[in-house]
Amino acid sequence: MKNKILLAAINARFTHTNLALRYLRNHVADLDYSCELQEFTIKQFPKEILKNIFRAKPDIVAFSVYIWNTDICKILLTEIKKILPDIKIVLGGPEVSYNAEKWLMQYDS
């Protein structure tokens, strides 16, 4: 059975798009994964985003972390393991790459 990956983009606005996650989705298209991209905005409630992630039932969820979505990503990282305890979380983007050790210490799963 294919692992299910959810790429979660949390944009500043609905008119924005996350190219990094689109590149990742295209890159894994030929691999043995089921990959879905969902886009949200920082204006949405974390609970609403969590509901969408829960409904997708992914094995892996990936977030692209930028300065504009750091706060909401931190909330989601704290809450997601409560609803999907076996999920694997992948973080990327400039905010995580800059200080990976700090993020790993706080949100290691």
Secondary structure (DSSP) of 28-42: TTTSSEEEEEEEEET
- pLDDT of 84 > 90? The answer is yes
**How many domains would you assign to the chain?**
1
Q: Could you report the per-residue pLDDT of 55-81, keeping only the tens digit for each?
A: 999 999 999 998 999 999 999 998 998
Read off the CATH number of the domain in which 72 is found: 3.40.50.280
- Domain of 58 in residue numbering reads as 3-107
Two structure tokens written together for 101: 């050790």
**What does the pLDDT read at residue 98?**
80
One-letter amino acid for residue 10 of the chain: I
One-letter amino acid for residue 98 of the chain: Y
Q: Among candidates 108, 47, 95, 103, which has minimal Cα distance to 75? A: 47
Q: Cβ atoms within 10 A of the Cβ of 95, count?
A: 18
